[in-house]
Structure formats: structure tokens, C-alpha cells
Chain A
Amino acid sequence: MGDDVADTDGLAPARFRIGIDIGGTFTDFTAVDDVTGKITVTKHLTTPDQPEKAVLAGLEGLTERLPDLLPQSEAVVHATTLATNVVIERKGAPTALLTTEGFRDILEIGRESRYHLYDPFIRFPVPLIPRPLRVGVSERVYADGTVIKPLDEDDVLGAVELLRSAGVRSVAVCYLHAYREPEHERRTRDLLLDALPGVSVSLSHEVHPEPKEYERTSTTVVDAYVKPVIDGYLERLEARLDRLGYSQRLLMMQSNGGVISAETARRHPIQIIESGPAAGVEAAAYYGRLLGEHDVVSFDMGGTTAKLCLLQGGDAARTRSFEVDRVSRFRQGSGIPVAIPVYDLLEIGAGGGSIARLNDLGLLQVGPDSAGSDPGPACYRSGGTAPTVTDANVVLGHLDPDHFLGGEMPLDAAAARTAVNEDIAKPSELPVRQAACSIVDLVNETMAAAARIHIADKGKDAKGLTIVAFGGAGPLHACALARKLGCRRVIIPPLPGVMSSFGLLATSLAFEQAAAIRQLLDELDGSEIEKQRRDLEIAAAAALPDNAAERFRCIAEICHLSQDYPLEVEISGDLGKPLTLEKAKADFRRQYEDTYGRTDDDNPLELVALRVQALSPPRPIEMPALERSDTRGTPASAEENRTRQIYQRSRDEMVEAPVFVRESLKPGTEVAGPAVIEERESTTVLGVGDLAIVDDIGCLVIQIAPTGAEAVQRHPEFASS
């Protein structure tokens, strides 16, 4: 394709956009041709030590198919798990921490509580910076911002000697109350840069300008710890892209959506720490918009975890309670806190590799631990013997052992069966098929249970939501999950296996500016606050490329005076007008009662902060309409009449189901469940009564059969004797 499009002179770099997502196992690539709408994808094994290797190898592969790709590219958008991995594997540069004298152990002492009340042998992550590299400096600012003790510059210079001899390459500076009076931190940076040229410095008031010293220190330290690695990596990558003829800025996905320049990311690498999962959310949002679905559950299920995210009105919520390197992966509080806004994702220990066992109570348990890729599920025959969700899916016929990864990786069905039989079926005296069914059902229920809470927390009803499923295992479980949640529609976009790299291209440029206000709503000077909002708009727009800001969103953070957790109230209209503020008050009260029920709280309302987002419209990806089948609305015929036996839960029996190859399904084709739709990196399973329609761009749009009597299922007893 594209052979009929001539290069337009002088405007060359306007044709392609490239998304590159580095994940734990694979680096995924999506190239969009904006002239033809053609999408080209590829995957390459991740090269953890030098991530740019995989990036370059993948780009090379793409260039073979799309000659002159990089010189004709308008944007390369990138997401990576590099920062997280650097922390988990403790591969950061030698980093030091300067604190107010007397407080160098804040980083190690943390908040002093136990994240698990019933673990008598509780463990915590090892701090990123050991005590000998944490240095106190004589200085002190009080809570109101007054300087009680001036900065002792000799102390800083004394620390320099220690840092030099320890070979420190990065320094985090976190002084008490620096969020209120940052001058000492700034001066410290000047002194450090003078004495230690080339060292990178992260200041707490820039990284996270909020009170609570442990969280701010921790966030600043993570930023400093990953900075030299990220900086070096992005610098090398930019140079290589440059050599390949790419003439535009490299763009990076942020943890809370939107993209920033690589230059900004190199200065504040903490902002890209969750860029990979964010790209998945962006992709789900994109397909939601494209198909006119505004309330969507983004469902990304891989080998180890499932990530769910609720999008309302096309947008996902953000949270600041993010942690890296959890000792106990799914226990909040067991990791290193990073207080930057990230998408409010729900991560569950439920993936293809999740291990099934009977617990002490004789109850079936699946996950949260995973066999991962090493030793892997029993059917991989690479050392794993414990039954996993993937093994159960093989037993139930959902996965075809001969067509896994397009047949490149044959699975051992007998080994899967043995594992399920030995560990689950035998001890509970059940047929192996029922045991396998319960494993799959429980993992679906685990995800559904967590999702229900997440959805309820956001005040939504699952019935009105559409699931957008992707990741290696997402399409396999999506219909069953939808049935449990009561969702009526599931969308499996094209190429679900590389969705995140696609999502990078679907996002828009966005930048947020915030100002702390801390004034009673009743005492606000409206015209003053309106002026502040305008200033924020100007500052936010300035962070985007020329004239990219198309519109602004203004959010007021409001709470009762002395509370600590404001609600977000959307502001429309001129804040200088009393009506706008009256409406904000009324909106807050309604939202408060909706969230917390009636509490008769009549304390005065405080405007905590004002946040303004400058938004640019997402660049549309013109998806080409696929060739239509001339038999629109009629059932597709199975590929070479392939069928196989799959387990049907509603009938509690194996049924004969047709197997389709996804690429061969033309738009308009209908596939009625029970059926299996296979593609290279994923498999979609339709239950009885489910109906998939292939839409114009190749999405499978699946109507889920109503649950009816199936809603409450009885399951065999798993009690051990």
C-alpha cells in the first residue's frame, strides 16, 4: 500500500508516526501511515541491559517494510518500563541524599506501620540510598516558610568531598518544608553543580512540592536514582534516531497520560515511570472514542497481572498513591512510594501464569503468584509443574496447543492435564475438567470482584460499561469477565497483542499547571482567582508546542476546612462571577453526599488548589476501511472447517466449536458463540449466545448473551478431608 502517494516536497516528515513500548518481555512497535492509514506492527524481544538495542532492531525491521520510515516520520512516541526496572533491580547510578541535619534517616524509617497486620515476619524494601550516602546539612525552614536556620554552605561543600570519593553521579535534595520555601534547595543545587560538574540533582520542591516528608523524600530519591540511567538511555536513543534521519523531537508518554518531550522526561524521569500501562489506557480510550463508547473498562491481561482501568466520559481517573518495588506485590504499603499522578489502574495478580492450589482451608486459590515465563505454565514444558490458568485453558480447549503464537510454540496438553489433575482434581476428588473450569472461573471471579469494587468506587454501574480487552490473555477471558460484571459489550481491537504501542499514537499533547490556593470559598476574591486561572492557562499552554493548546479544563479542588482530601469539581465559566462559585459549592455538596452519604457536615468550604490542563486534540488515526465481505450479516464459515471441543460452562459439557482465523474475517462478518477466534498473539473465546460482529476497521464488537439463570453457579465442593 502507499505506492500511489508521492512525496510532497519540503514537507517530507509528515507521513508516519511511530509508537514504541518497551515491556518486560517484548518491545512493541506500531507505525501509522497517516497518508494511507495503514498500520504496521512488529515485536522484538526486550534487551534489558541496553533497551535501545531492541528499539533499533525493531525499527530496522519496520524500515525494511516501510522504506525511509524515520526521515518521513513526524513523531516517535515512546513508553518504557525502564525506570521501574532500574528500581526493582537496584541498577541505578550511585546516588546520595542531602537532608536537613538530623533527618537523614527519614528515607529508611518511612511511616513505621505494618502494611500487613497478620504477617509476623513482615519485610520492607531496602532503601535506594544506604545510610553512609545520606548526609545531613545544617539548615531549617519552619512550617510557615520562615528560615529558622540559614543554609550552612560549608556543610554542603563538606558533603561534596564524600560524594566525590563515593563516585556519586546523582543527588537528591530534600529539606523539611522546602515545598513552602525552596531557596535552600536551589542554592544547594548551585553549589553541587559548581563542585561536581556533570552530576544530576533532583530537588524535592520541584519533583513533588507537597508536605509529608517521607513521601516527598522517597519520590525525589526515585527520581534521582533513575535519572542518570534514563538520561543516558534517552540521549543515546535520540542520537541513534537522529542518525536514522529522524528530525523531530522524541516524545515520551507520561504516567498519567499525555505526552511530553524527551527533554522534559530526562529532567524529571519520575513522570514516565508508569508510561507503559498509561499507553494501554490511552489505546482503550482511543477505541472507546472511535466506537462512540464513552464509559469503558480497559482490560489488559498478560502473563502475570491483569490491569483494569475505568474510563468515564472517555477519561480515566488519576491517583497519587503509587508504589514501586513492592515486597508483597499486591499489598499497598509494601513498596517505595512515588507520589506523582498516575492513571488509577487496578492491578490484580491474575494472568495466564497465575498458579492454582488448594489452600489450608481446602479452598481453591489462584494467584497472586505467577509461574511467569520461567519456569512457566506446565504446558510450556520449561520446568514448571504447578497448574496455571494457561494450563486450565488448554484442558478446557480454549487454547489450541498447536496454534500458540501462531504454532511457533507448541504446548504440551498432557502436561497441562497432569498438573491440574495432580494438584487440584485428585485431592478434591473431582473430574479434571471441572477442576480446570473452576480455575478459570475463579481467576475471572477474582478480576470481577476487584473490578466491581473499582467500578463501585467510581459510582458506576457495570451494565453501562463496555470492556476493551487486550494483552496476550485479555481476549481469552474478556467475554467471561463481561458476563460476571454484567457488561453487555466487549471490544477486541485489531492487534490486541501490541495495543500499548498503538496507544502511544492515540494520545494527545497535554500539560497541567496547578496553584495552591488554601482560601475559604466564602472569602475568595473572584476577580483575583479568575486572574490566577488565566495565568495558569498561559503557563500550561506554554509547555505545549506552538499553538497546540486547543482548549483548557479547569478543576477546583475543594474540601471542608481542615480536611486533607479534596474532591475535584469541574469549573466552567468565569470565576469572577459569583454564580460560578455558587455552582462550584453546590456541585461539591452534591458530589460529597453522593460519595460519602449524608453526614450533616456544615463546616465552611475551602478552595485547596486550582488546576488547569491545556489540551490539544488527539491526532485522528484514519483507519482504512477493510474490504467488506459481500455476505454482510451472514455467519462466517470456519477456516478450513476447523472445529474443536471447548468446555461450555452454562451447559457443563464440552461442545463442538468452530475455530476462525481472525485475519480472514471480513468486516460485517458475524460469529456466533460458542466459537474460538485465533490470531497470532491472542485468542478470543465466545460463549453460547455471544455474538461477535467484525466492524469496518477490524474490531470484534461482541454482544454478550444475557446471563439469566447462569448468574449464580453452583460449584463442586473443594473441601479437603
Chain B
Amino acid sequence: MTTDPSSLDPFQTQVLWQRLIAICDEAATSLVRTAYSSVVRDYHDYCCGLFDADGNLLAHSTKTTAGFIGIIPEVMRHFLRRYDQRDIKPGDVMITNDPWLASGHLLDISAATPVFDGPNLVGFALCVVHHLDMGGRMATTESKDMYEEGLKVPILKLYRRGRIDDQVIDILRANVRVPDKVIGDLKAQVAANNVCARGLLKMIGESGLTGLGDLGAEIVRRSEASLRAKIMQLADGVYTNHVTLPPIGGCPDKIEIRVALTIRGDEIIVDYAGSSGQVSAALNVPFNMTRSYSTYPIKLALDPDVPNNDGCLAPIKVTCPEGTLLNCRPPAATWGRTIIAHNLPEIVFGALAKAAPEKVVAGSGSTPLSAMYVHGRKQNGRAFIGVVAHLGGLGAGQGYDGPSCTSFPFNVSNIPIEVTENDAAILYLRKELVPDSGGPGEFRGGLGQEVEFSIPDGGHAPDGPVTAGVRGSGRHPDSTYPVFGRLGGGVGRNEGLLLNHQPISHGAQQQLRPGDRVTIRLPGGGGYGDPLRRHVDAVVRDVQRGHVSIKGAVDDYGVAIEPETLNLDEEQTTTNRRKRT
């Protein structure tokens, strides 16, 4: 480690660093408490970050979805490009939802509040939230360009010197389907930034710092050095991976993603040259999001313990030719960017596995996110938007069985059934684990689940049809893109998206009527290592816990279980396993 150039010793750095994270967490708590939609309150699709006066990211909230963490530094830089520091005044709040300057689709609004200590600008609080609606066609892959997708808010000031610009609010209100919730959530973002700013000023006051410059430099320097040291431990080389995604509704093109990971000394270059070009469906990924989901898996695999900040991004360079799927040009349609971008961590893992297999897990049944936006009117005439998002099982790893039904690589919580049924004209019919869906392996993938809901009829029927943007994962054991196992582990199973028991393509919108029934089958995670090497006790336990059926124990693991007692048939198991090896 190089000599410390700053006046802060490592002890103080550590303490203040922890406090910055706690301030972001406090901001996130305030966001949730003042929010109006379940997307913020229960689904947790947001991020609260804290920056120094030059716009360097120093900390973000513990609770956030992963896609935002590599993006908010870019948003902050764009705010500072638009407004010279001299034009930024106390009480200002800047906002934008520009997909290229911010987080890749119109639904996310970023809001930044400058923090002044007396006359001095000391930093910025930033909060990005996925809003319920931004007008346009709503959730669908079918849009051909951004203009179909809703209202774009260029970088502007929502507040000037503490005064809200009512015209901005009026324009937003006039363009969205559930204005009270959208405006309410936007004001919750302001509340989160207020709380963040107050916490930061208190910390500065108590610590005797004059600004965040030294502290920021120190945090970034240490984090960068840590990740570089971890990269150094890997063998230099070029590691590649290549997948062809299964067909996506609304998109006629075949989608291929190629990645080349160049590890050279203490640096990694992630290059996507050779991947598909821009498509005329709402699947294009602005580069901010490509970078975010390319750096995240590397940090996750190599240096998970250091809190994230700008320093963690410095040793990783992400490249992709402009005008392609993963670096699209305006005004490409981008609503479903995560249908593509969520796959990047797993694809990067696939390449990284060639250098360090023990550091990465197998494919995940929750990748990419399977979520549906369901919009209609209740009988009382009130518009509703419900979000139905449930997840598959995580991939297994060395010494590690994947957990069932868990977010990856994004990080959202399901919205409770009881909340959704209160909000929207939706009736859940079932939500259950699917035994044997976890990819078999020495270490087993987590289980997927089956979720079914219908549009109620009779007294609870909606007023008119319900529009649903249906998104499954599209991953299938027989497709070009199953939920991969690793080192001999099997693929995750359980797949499909059905409307009234008939398979439908995912991505495109559907009109649902009372009595219609949607079934979502979410795959299990991929297995890791040869299933015949799985410890028999672990298989017996799987059967006793209902994760593996008696048939699955024999078919996948060669383990024979007595049906009456659920105990092991040792002799038969030995025979089975001997026969197969």
C-alpha cells in the first residue's frame, strides 16, 4: 500500500466511513417511510447515495438494487456537467429521468440535493427511485423508440433555493396514470435527501472536518487499492463467454452476448465487442447500466467485504461499441433493458469461472427479473398499478447450496400478496416452491416456485380490461440459455409463462379479463459439481425438508429413500451410485 497522502489516519477514516453508510441508510429509511407506492415501500427499488462536492460517490444505502450502484456516480457527474457548481444553491433539488444520463429507462427519477455547510458546498445527497409509471405505453417490449415509452424529464431543478417548481409537478401529474403516488414518491425522494444532508452536516460539524475532500480521497484510495490487490491474485489472461438468449416477445432479432474478460496485472477489462446490435424493441441497454452490471459481479466475486464507492469501479474498464444492444444510442426504446442487463453478471461469472471457479456461483433462476406491471381501474374508478414480481432459486457454489427464491443480480423484495390485493384487482391463487427444481449437484441449486394469479370477477372485478406487461425469464433447460450448472452440476428446472394454461411469449403486453389466469414458473438455480458426489445425508435431509422428491433423489443423486420412513436405503444407494459412475 502506498504512503498515506492525506491528513486522516486510517482509524478516523474507518469510523467516518461507517458513519457515511449509516447516513445513507437513514435516508433510505426516510424514503420508505414517506413513500406512497409499494414499489418503494415493499419492493425496495431505489438507492440513496452520498457524494463529495466534486461528485465522487463515497457511500450508498445498504438496501438498494444492484443495478443502481454503478449508475449513480454517472448521474451525479451529469448533474454537475449541466450545472456549474456556482449555479448550485442551497435549497436546490435537481432531477432527471434521461435514460442515457441516468439509470437507463424513463421510469427511474434521480434527484440530487446539494449540501451546504454555511456558504460552502460540501457534498450531494442523491436518491433514485423506480416510479410506478411515467406515462407512455407502460411496461412492454413492443415500443420502437423512447418517445412511445413516456415522459422524459431532462436535467432540471425541481426546487430552486428551497422553492418547489409547481410547473414541473403539474407536467408530471398530467402525464402519469397514478399521479398521487408518483408525485408522492418524488417528494419522498426529497425527504430522503433532506435527511441525508442533515446527517452529513452533523457529521462534519462533530468531526471537525471542513469538507469531504480528504475523507473521500482516502476512502476511494483504500477501496481501489483493495480491489487491485485482489485482481493481482488472478492469473493474467483473456477469459471469454458467449450466450444466445431465448426469444423475447416483441423482438424478432436473435440476441447474442459475447464477453471477453482481460485480466492484466491489477486491472480487468470487460469487453462486449461482437454482441448483438441495437434492436427495435424496448430491450436496449444504455451504457451506464451495462457498466453497472459488469462491475458488480467482479466486486461480488473478488472483494465483497469493502463497502462500495467510486474506488471499487476504477480498476475495471468496461467497453462496448456504440450503437449496439449494450451501448444503445438515443432514442432507442429501453423499458426492458434489464431483461438483457440482468444476465450480464452471470455471463461475466461464466468467464471469470475460467480463472477462479471457486469464487462464482452457478446460474440463477431469478435471472433476469420476472415482473409484471398490471394496470386497470377498480370498480370505484380509481386507477391502480400492481406489481407482481417473484423470483427463482439461486445457483450453488463451492460448499454452498443455493437458497430458494432469491433476487439476483438485482435485489428487490416481493410485494406481499395482501398488499397487492389491497391495491389492485388481482387475486393470487397460489405461490409454492417446486421440489426438484433446483439444479442437482454436489451442491444443489435453490428451488424455484410457481405463482399463479387471476383477475377477479363478480364484486371484485375491475372496471374494464387490465393491461399487463408480462415478463418471465424465458430460460428453459432445452433452450440456448438454461439456468446453467457449473463443474458438472445440472441446470435449474421449472419454466414457463402461461395464460389460461397456454404458453405465451414473455415481454409483450396482454389484455386480461375477469377470470383470466396467469401462471409463472420460476426456475431453480444451477447445481455445482457432480450430483453423485453429493453427501447422502444432504440428500436425505433434502427429501425430509421437501426440497427433493423420493423420485428426484434416485434420478438425480442415485440415493434411495424408504417412502414410509423417509430414511436412507443404504444398500440400494451404494448400488445405484456404483452403477452410474
Contact = CB atoms under 8 A, between A and B. Distances in A.
23 contacts: A105-B431, A106-B431, A109-B433, A112-B412, A121-B397, A143-B418, A143-B421, A176-B421, A212-B419, A361-B306, A363-B222, A364-B11, A446-B15, A456-B26, A563-B36, A595-B30, A597-B191, A598-B162, A598-B190, A599-B194, A600-B187, A601-B187, A720-B1
A212 B546 CA distance: 25
B412 A102 contact: no
Nearest to B64: A117
Contact of A102 (B14, B422, B429): B429
A109 B449 contact: yes
Given A117-B69, A132-B544, A211-B416, 6 more contacts: A112-B405, A116-B62, A215-B416, A442-B11, A599-B187, A712-B208
B322 interface: no
Contacts of A362: 1, 10
B35 A563 contact: yes
User: What DSSP secondary structure best describes chain A's contact surface?
Assistant: loop
Interface in B248-267: none
Given A442-B11, A711-B208, A146 B459 contact: yes
A103 B422 contact: no
Contacts of B429: 102
B278 to A, nearest CB: 30
B181 A120 contact: no
A719 B9 CA distance: 9
Interface stretch (A10-18, A123-131, A308-316, A605-613): A123-131
A625 interface: no
A445 B476 CA distance: 52
B6 to A, nearest CB: 11
Given A109-B404, A363-B14, A565-B32, A142 B421 contact: yes
Interface stretch (B139-147, B199-207, B239-247): B199-207
A664 interface: no
Most chain A C-beta atoms within 10 Å of own C-beta, residue among B180, B198, B418: B418
A562 B460 CA distance: 20
In which size bucket is the chain A interface? 35 or more
B308 interface: yes
A291 interface: no
Contact of B406 (A122, A148, A446, A719): A122
Nearest to B18: A449
Interface in B494-526: none
Interface string B559-578: 00000000000000000000
A713 to B, nearest CB: 8
A603 B10 CA distance: 47
Interface string A685-721: 0000000000000000000000000011011111111
Contacts of B42: 212
Nearest to B34: A596
A360 B399 CA distance: 23
Contacts of A601: 34, 184, 187
A187 to B, nearest CB: 20
Given A452-B19, A563-B184, A717-B9, A118 B199 contact: no
A122 B432 CA distance: 22
B300 A564 contact: no
Contacts of A360: 226, 229, 303, 305-306
A120 B360 contact: yes
A577 B35 CA distance: 31
Contacts of A109: 404-405, 414, 431, 433, 449
Contacts of B195: 595-597
Contacts of B360: 120
Interface in A643-700: none
Contact of B26 (A111, A142, A453): A453
Interface string B429-457: 11111000000000000000100100010
Contacts of B234: none
Contacts of A213: 416-418
A212 B10 contact: no
Contact of B181 (A144, A562, A715): A562
A120 B194 contact: no
A148 B457 CA distance: 11
Most chain B C-beta atoms within 10 Å of own C-beta, residue among A362, A456, A595: A456
Contact of B184 (A131, A132, A562, A711): A562
A641 interface: no
A721 B225 CA distance: 12
Contacts of A456: 26, 199, 202
B433 A114 contact: no
Contacts of A118: 299-300, 304-305, 308
Contacts of B11: 363-364, 438, 441-442, 445, 715, 718
A108 interface: yes
Interface string A125-160: 000001110000000001110101000000000000
A446 B14 CA distance: 10
B22 interface: yes
Contacts of B44: 113
Interface in A78-113: 101-106, 108-113
Nearest to A121: B400
B385 to A, nearest CB: 13
Given A120-B397, A438-B11, A600-B187, A112 B414 contact: yes
Contact of A449 (B15, B416, B452): B15
Interface string A486-526: 10000000000000000000000000000000000000000
A596 B198 CA distance: 10
A702 to B, nearest CB: 22
A294 interface: no
Contacts of A176: 417-418, 421, 428
A101 B431 CA distance: 9
A714 B208 CA distance: 13
A205 to B, nearest CB: 12
A138 B402 CA distance: 31
B533 interface: no
B430 A102 contact: yes
A603 B407 CA distance: 34
B411 interface: yes
A319 to B, nearest CB: 11
B412 A113 contact: yes
Contacts of B399: 121
Given A113-B412, A132-B544, A213-B417, A717 B10 contact: yes
A359 B18 CA distance: 15
Contacts of A268: none
B351 to A, nearest CB: 16
A104 B435 CA distance: 13
A715 B419 contact: no
Nearest to B544: A130
A42 B198 CA distance: 47
A658 B406 CA distance: 58
A698 to B, nearest CB: 34
Interface string A13-36: 000000000000000000000000
A603 B180 contact: yes
Contacts of A712: 12, 207-208
A114 B406 contact: yes
Nearest to A561: B180
A105 to B, nearest CB: 4
A269 B40 CA distance: 33
Contacts of B9: 714-718
Nearest to A105: B433
Contacts of A640: none
Contacts of B319: none
Given A359-B305, A717-B9, A718-B10, A103 B419 contact: no
Contacts of B406: 112-114, 122, 124
Nearest to A485: B206
A657 B394 CA distance: 58
Contacts of B82: none
Contacts of A215: 416
A585 interface: no
